[in-house]
A and B are shown apart, each in its own frame.
Chain A
């Protein structure tokens, strides 16, 4: 089992390996870019007959309990579902070369990254006969003009959830997080884009800003607010809102709605300075082994009844205006006035590093 390995031999082999590395890495890069598929990359081409299987990679609890079983039964497809708990994890995995998923569900700006790195395949629109059910409010957004790669799935906003019984008036502004009266009872989301984004909006700037001066002002406020925060915590803060440990929390509207069902004393506002609106979409990633099944699934969820069930189960808004008619208490579409102060997050490209530096500084403060 153990051969004698002289030191010289070892060093020789190690150096050979070390020198071959950059070559290997370059080869790796080269291999990736050439994954061109003549059928899948051309949205006009026909796909074959429906396959027997479908692999979905998605956030947990992002469909209604019967969505998948019903689809599987109707189309005779075996569906496997795998879960990620952050966009970036899904992105990193695809960038590192993982293939085999037919559908992923990225948020707004992640779509831009997937498209730019060639990881998204165009949609063959001919198979999406239910496309017209989608509302123009959510179609053809900046991150994917013409919806070449995406099928809108669910949308939401980031706002502030608060305990009506502990806070006298609904907090109108992001300023609440600077209010020392509620020190130790407030949380912001554990996400640099959401935290800095909020403070950028507070000063009237875009939450996609790459302007150094604007960012530094936002950073100062974020650090000042940090003193009042109990923690940086995202969706799991629901439990503490319900129990009363937390009185004010930056949170997505769907989560706030789910919490409100357990705790009627919860209110929700979008601060007047504005906030994030986001749209999650279905995307077919490169290397999808079952493209036809993927398209049938996408078309299936565009049906009003299916989409209505999903929206009700998850608490998030549906971009499907036919589905809205079937929901009892639908999340209302943002009005023109709302939309003026809501922004989609865009990818920051090279400036991602700057934002990360600031977030590290905030966390270290």
Chain B
């Protein structure tokens, strides 16, 4: 579609992808290495994967991370998109202040957010657990979603929506059939960012998680402080494989439904 991309551009793009994936490749390969610390290949082994299965704490943490991650992503993407639309489409007093406020979670150092949210929870008597973690994640993910969707909205052509309304479609239909599809790359990008940030968050989560609601990063960080073992590479490899499979399945499913 259109003219091919210049070669230098492709070279840069390939280099960047290589840069992004090199450490990942390393950790996948070495999760099978028999030696714990050496760069030499001393033999293939599944030992580290086997040890993983013995660790309830890791499996439990993974479950918590997934639950919180999906919930936080869905909520923050929905709310964030609505807020972005609100900011972009309606002129109201204090709009600029609201927009600046959106940046507050992004600029606050994580430890400040973590401790202040904890204090807030204690103040209102909210017991620490999955809910407190999810809410905290939504709080900072929303900002990222809003910023990304806003950027998308800014370049968007309103004429399609106006046409739809003129042709007699009501607001809701217009929203779903015209606005959302146009916004979709922004919404998707925002959602991907939100999930990434939620899944990987450590500092904020460590303060707002309650007994039994430790996410995977909390488990891994503490493990790594004491014992750098290829088991952590094994977990990451498994997560990579699992997410790849899931996304592939979702993609195929989506395509079949479209047909």
Contacts and interface: CB of A to CB of B under 8 A. Distances in A.
Contacts of B118: 93, 96-98
Interface string B12-48: 0000000000000000000000001111000000000
Nearest to B132: A98
A321 B115 CA distance: 41
A224 interface: no
Q: Taking chain A's interface residues, is the majority helix, strand, or loop, or is none over half, making it mixed? A: mixed
Contacts of B227: 60-61, 238, 258
Interface stretch (B139-147, B165-173, B212-220): B212-220
A99 B221 CA distance: 22
A55 B86 CA distance: 44
A5 B222 contact: no
A62 B209 CA distance: 20
A116 interface: no
A64 to B, nearest CB: 12
Interface stretch (A80-88, A167-175, A322-330): A80-88
B37 A55 contact: no
Interface in A57-83: 57, 59-62, 65, 80-83
Contact of A10 (B97, B115, B212): B97
A307 B189 CA distance: 51
Interface in A98-113: 98-101
Interface string A200-213: 00000000000000
Nearest to A252: B226
B122 interface: yes
A92 B119 CA distance: 11
Contacts of B115: 92, 96
A6 interface: yes
Nearest to A262: B36
Contact of B92 (A2, A80, A84, A97): A2
Given A61-B227, A101-B211, A2 B122 contact: no
A19 interface: no
Contacts of A28: 119, 122-123
B257 interface: no
B11 to A, nearest CB: 33
Nearest to A65: B54
B128 interface: yes
A66 to B, nearest CB: 10
Nearest to A32: B122
B218 A82 contact: yes
A246 to B, nearest CB: 12
Given A24-B123, A28-B123, A55 B222 contact: no
A39 interface: no
A84 B57 contact: no
Given A28-B119, A28-B123, A61 B207 contact: no
A80 B212 contact: yes
Contact of A83 (B39, B121, B127, B222): B222
A7 interface: yes
Given A1-B82, A96-B115, A83 B37 contact: no
Contacts of A1: 82, 86
B128 A100 contact: yes
Interface in A157-194: none
A61 B211 contact: no
B57 A96 contact: no
Interface string B134-154: 000000000000000000000
A4 interface: yes
Contacts of B222: 59-61, 83-85
A93 B206 contact: yes
B211 A100 contact: yes
- Which residue, A28, A59, A96, has most C-beta atoms of chain B within 10 A? A96
A235 interface: yes
A84 B37 contact: no
B225 interface: yes
Interface in A15-65: 24, 28, 55, 57, 59-62, 65
B228 A239 contact: yes
A180 B57 CA distance: 44
B93 interface: yes
A98 B119 CA distance: 8
A172 to B, nearest CB: 28
A243 B94 contact: no
Contacts of A96: 115, 118-119, 122, 207
Interface in B73-103: 82, 86, 90, 92-94, 97
B224 interface: yes
B210 A97 contact: no
A267 to B, nearest CB: 18
Given A61-B226, A235-B226, A2 B219 contact: no
A308 interface: no
Closest 5 CB pairs of A and B: A97-B122, A60-B222, A83-B222, A55-B211, A80-B212
Given A10-B93, A59-B222, A61-B223, 4 more contacts: A60-B222, A83-B218, A235-B225, A236-B228
Interface of B: 36-39, 54, 57, 82, 86, 90, 92-94, 97, 115, 118-119, 121-123, 127-128, 206-207, 209-214, 218-219, 221-228
23 contacts: A4-B92, A10-B93, A10-B97, A28-B123, A57-B211, A59-B226, A60-B227, A61-B223, A61-B227, A65-B54, A81-B57, A82-B211, A96-B115, A97-B119, A97-B123, A98-B210, A99-B128, A100-B127, A235-B225, A239-B37, A242-B36, A243-B37, A243-B38
